[in-house]
Amino acid sequence: MADPYYITTAIHYPNGRPHIGHAYETIAADVMARFQRLQGRVVRFQTGTDEHGLKMAQKARDLGMTPRELADEMSGHFRDLFDKLDISYDRFIRTTEPGHHASVQELWRRMEANGDLYLDRYEGWYSVRDEAYYDESELIDGQGGEKLSPQGTPVEWTVEESWFFRLSNYQDRLLALYAEQPDFIRPDSRRNEVVRFVEGGLRDLSVSRTSFDWGVKVPGADDHVMYVWVDALTNYLTGLGFPDEGGDMARFWPADLHLIGKDIVRFHAVYWPAFLMSAGIALPKQVFGHGFLLNRGVKESKSLGNVTDPGELADRFGVDVLRYYLLREFSFGQDGSWSTESIVMRANAELANSFGNLAQRTLSMIFKNLDGKVPDVGEAPEDLQLLALVREAVLGDLRAEFDELAFAAGLDAWMKAVFACNQYVDEMAPWGLKKSDPQRMAAVLGTLYRCIIDLAIGLLPVAPGAAKKLLDAMGVADADRNFDWIANGGSGNPADHTLEQPQPIFPRLELPEEAGAA
């Protein structure tokens, strides 16, 4: 029995509608969750919204709403988007849930019982936008000489009573963690940044605020609300039922993967393991900080007016096309630049012209020339060679690359197998065999049929809607749509299946007029 698998995204801050970065991270996590299910693992996939903090309180005030009203509205937009994008989450968590407050307060009590919390006075620089404290040495000068955070966001000098977490006590333990488990932080560039930060020395962390009250109350000190990152990070435990340590908590914790943006690696790779060490809770196995998506090379921002609604992209190009493009176009972990032109070019070249056309013409020839009766696979050397090549591409290369979150490389291996199938079609020319050697024509089409099934199963995590539609049409049982069936289910085709008139799964896209004119 395969081990359970627990994957999380960062919970998204709902002070505005979701943008393409939220979609990118959540699609990537969904692909990984679906991929692990194909391997026979029982998967727990969690996403959600991080609804507390000063930033939410200020935004709600500006809009004439309560923070809860804003949270309810915006969290709904995230859930609606993820449902549209075919995100197969098992738990959508909200930090305003009463059970989450109980979970965070229990974590606090355990850190306090360990002697790691104390009351003092905080004076220092705070970025409301980042919900983060910064040392003077980390600040940069803005164009007008003003102080900015390393992320380029405004900071303000804050003075208030605060509870502190003894982060300084955990420097050596964290460095030992990074040394003993080099894959705890990935990719290597993020790991190196974190190691340098921790080696530079850790100061105790202010973990409560008294200047606002929108958050989780500190146990025994109701005039304090917890620092939003203590609150937010604990969601990964809350979703498993913590502080109950049986059930899902026992089954799925520690998490296999926290998938997050590179801008919040410090919170997940420094603060979070320190909190867990203090509370006596096992650490997650890996934190992966992916890169940013740039709009034609420029970071999206409301001030520039270039913020993209991912729901509109999905409506325009199709959910499966968008999912495939975002995982295929960029090396996961690095920044990438997207454009509508590149979506259309990638979708047409690979999905429509290559894989879609392969499936359409193969199934159409079977429908037309064999009355839709699916033939057996061929046994000629060239047939067996193609079957082995496709199987190795899916079970070997794609599988190995996806295990490492190298989605683009995995899909590159998948595309090479598609190209090999198209080359086989051209070389075998089954349309010319109908009269000269109908038995050979059937064997060629049967070989292609099985190759297309294996390729469609490999595509299921990335383009689940289109792959399911194709596998349904090809008569593949739901129970057979996994890697184990490809490996051990023989090389035959579904028995006694008759095709109906095939329908294209990836129609060609047209470039939007405004993009073409740009």
Mean pLDDT of the chain: 94
Report whether CATH 1.10.10.10 matches the domain 5-291: no
**pLDDT, tens digit (0-9, with 9 covering 90-100), for 357-409:** 999 999 999 999 999 999 999 999 999 999 999 999 999 999 999 999 999 99
Q: How many CB atoms lie within 10 A of CB 137?
A: 6
Instruction: At 123, list the tokens.
Output: 């004076």
Check residue 143 and give its pLDDT: 82
Question: Is residue 3 within 8 Å of residue 41, measured between CB atoms?
Answer: yes
Question: Is residue 278 within 8 Å of residue 114, measured between CB atoms?
Answer: yes
Is 0.85 surpassed by the pTM of this model? yes
Per-residue pLDDT at 514 exceeds 60: no
Q: Average the pLDDT over 217-241 and give the result.
A: 95
CATH fold match for the domains 5-291 and 340-488? no
DSSP 341-394: HHHHHHIIIIIIIIIIHHHHHHHHHHHHHSTTBPPPPP-SHHHHHHHHHHHHII
Check residue 513 and give its pLDDT: 65
Confidence of residue 516 (pLDDT cuts 50, 70, 90): very low
**Block residue for tokens 């199987």:** 391
Q: Which residue has the higher pLDDT, 248 or 228?
A: 248
Query: Hey, what's the torsion of the CAs at 197, 201, 207, 211, to 10 degrees?
Result: -90
CA neighbours within 13 Å on the CB side: how many for 92?
Answer: 16
Check residue 16 and give its pLDDT: 87
CA neighbours within 13 Å on the CB side: how many for 202?
Answer: 25
| Partners of residue 156 on adjacent β-strands | 126
Domain 340-488 CATH superfamily = Isoleucyl-tRNA Synthetase; Domain 1 (1.10.730.10)
High-pLDDT (> 70) share of the chain, %: 97
Q: Single out the residue of 335, 256, 337 nearest to residue 290, CA to CA.
A: 335
Q: Give the strand pairing for 43-49 and 5-9.
A: parallel
Residue 166 in 3-state DSSP? coil
Residue-range domain boundaries for the chain:
5-291, 340-488
Q: What stretch of H or E contains 226?
A: strand 221-226
Q: What stretch of H or E contains 454?
A: helix 438-459
Instruction: Report the helix count and the strand count for the chain, using DSSP H and E.
Output: 23, 18
Question: Is residue 308 within 8 Å of residue 300, measured between CB atoms?
Answer: yes
Confidence of residue 299 (pLDDT cuts 50, 70, 90): confident
CA neighbours within 13 Å on the CB side: how many for 470?
Answer: 32
**pLDDT, tens digit (0-9, with 9 covering 90-100), for 91-142:** 999 999 999 999 999 999 999 999 999 999 988 888 878 877 788 888 998 8
CA neighbours within 13 Å on the CB side: how many for 235?
Answer: 28
